[in-house]
Amino acid sequence: MCECVISQAEIKSLDEDFRICSEITSEANVPFLNYDTSKWHRKFDEEELEIEYENLDSKYSKYRYPRPLSLPSSPDLRISSRPTSTILNISAKVAKFWLTEEHSFMTDPLFGVKAACKKGVHELCYLAISDDQQRMAGTIIVSGALLPQLVNKKHRFLGLSRSTLYRIDDDPSWDPITHTFQHWDKQKPPLGVENGKENPRIYAQPGQSSFLADDDVESNNDFFDKRYFSDQVFWPAVNVLLLSEEKGGGVERLGVGKIHIDAFNPVAVQEQILLG
């Protein structure tokens, strides 16, 4: 099931003013919540948990999200050729976090297994991303060959998009009536109160626990530590790139991963990145 990723970055080609991706800042701009109902009909299959869009013009086939984009109406806006530069100009939030030799307890969402890192042999590593309080705020997937140059250092992580915790109907943001993932602006007010003030990181519903106690040994296969960051937050995952150190004005991607929104947002700053 899709419709569970929202862009948080503006990405352009370096050699042409061609926008590949835009930052979505409000619910009014979310593509899958705002589409031309006179042309498209959204269908949700409850048994298969799949979403399809049918164009009311019979010459079109059915599409799973995302719907195909229409070509620009102005000839001047049509793309005559592909951008020639391999450098991307990205405007997005960047935050710094620690990497150590600690591995994440996250399992691969596609295959349900962890990468094999044992007996000193590191292949594809799921490393824990830690904040300044040494709490596991996220997970980054990197090549094991990079481990020596990454550990025990603070690194920059670029936030590309935001996504739901699960891509199925048991996600906290899923609305069974509208069959949609509710935007994070629809998050209910926190119920937890500390020292007379609301704790913005507690989003548990009645009858559900939000955080695990420090001595709780409940299985946790998520990308963050549920003892410190809530699994009831709507759209908690910031999909990130681990950036290399800047060289010649640009950076490279060293890994891909996720950081919890409540860890990322408080320390993130807007930056302009040249990614090669």
Model pLDDT for residues 255-273, shown as the tens digit of each residue: 999 999 999 999 999 999 9
Beta strands 88-103 and 237-243 are: unpaired
Pick from 11-20, 178-187, 214-223, 256-265 the range whose average pLDDT is largest: 256-265
* 194 or 92, higher pLDDT: 92
> How far is the C-alpha of 37 from the C-alpha of 106, rounded, in Å?
39
Closest to 238 in 3D by CA, of 3, 1, 5, 2: 5
Question: Any idea how long the chain is?
Answer: 276
pLDDT digits (tens, 9 = 90+) for 51-110: 888 877 776 666 655 566 555 554 444 444 555 678 899 999 999 999 998 988 787 655
pTM surpassing 0.85? Answer: no
First-residue to last-residue Cα distance in the chain: 31
Residue 209: count other Cβ atoms within 10 Å of its Cβ. Answer: 14
- List, in sequence order, the alpha helices (H) in 38-175: 147-150
Instruction: Give the residue extent of every domain in the chain.
Output: 88-275
Closest to 32 in 3D by CA, of 48, 44, 20, 45: 44
Three-state DSSP class for residue 161: strand
Q: Average the pLDDT over each of 75-79, 121-125, 182-186, 238-242 and give the range with the smallest value.
A: 75-79
Q: Mean pLDDT of all residues in the chain?
A: 80
| pLDDT at residue 79, as a whole number | 47
| pLDDT at residue 43, as a whole number | 84
Tokens standing for 139?
């997970």
> How far is the C-alpha of 223 from the C-alpha of 163, rounded, in Å?
13
Pick from 31-45, 102-116, 139-153, 187-201 the range whose average pLDDT is largest: 139-153
| pLDDT at residue 262, as a whole number | 97
- List, in sequence order, the alpha helices (H) in 2-160: 147-150
